[in-house]
Amino acid sequence: MTTEPGQPRQFHRTEYKVVVITEKPFLEDVSLHDIHLRMIQGDCAGEIMLVSTTVLNAEETAKELVELVCDPALFGLTTDGKPFEGDEFEDVEEAIADGSAAKAEPEPEAVVGSD
């Protein structure tokens, strides 16, 4: 589905809940694909349920992507939700890696030499 011309882009955040019952605990790095295969192949029982779907604007989407350690450029966005326009935002990966893109508020600037 595409956005109508002149309308702001919309994105969708969908959350699922996965419940699995096994004889032995799963390792932390088990993928959803592997869980699904094990459920249909019979060595565990489980259910995948839709919890919620939320419509997001570009700014909210960029913030969610950064929190997922995913580059907002995936959807043509900068880390602040603006349309990505070429190489002026080459520091996106660095901002995600050092966590600075995920900060909700800028840190106050230090005042030097004021006593």
Residue 109 lies in a domain: no
pLDDT digits (tens, 9 = 90+) for 18-52: 999 999 887 778 899 999 999 999 889 999 999 99
Q: What is the pLDDT of residue 108?
A: 43
Residues 45 and 64 in one domain: no
Half-sphere CA count of 15, side-chain side, radius 13 A: 7
Reply yes or no on whether the pLDDT at 100 is more than 90. no
Residue 101 in this model has a pLDDT that exceeds 80 = no
Please give the residue range of the domain that contains residue 47: 9-55
- Judge whether 33 lies within some domain: yes
Instruction: Map tokens 């565990």 to a residue.
Output: 44
Please tell me which residue, 54 or 29, carries the higher pLDDT value: 54
Q: Are 35 and 16 in contact (CB under 8 A)?
A: no
Task: Give domain status of residue 114, yes or no.
Answer: no
Domain shared by 51 and 84, yes or no: no
3-state secondary structure of 55: strand
Asked if the structure places residue 98 within a domain, the reply is yes
Contact 53, 14 (CB under 8 A): yes
pTM (two decimals):
0.62
Q: Are 79 and 50 members of one domain?
A: no
Number of domains, the chain: 2
28 and 48 belong to one structural domain: yes
Rounded to 10 degrees, the C-alpha dihedral 24/28/30/36 comes to 60
Residue 47, H or E segment: strand 45-56
Same domain, yes or no: 64 and 88 = yes
**What average pLDDT does the segment 52-78 reach?**
94
Kindly indicate the confidence band of residue 66, based on its pLDDT and cuts at 50, 70 and 90. very high
115 assigned to some structural domain = no
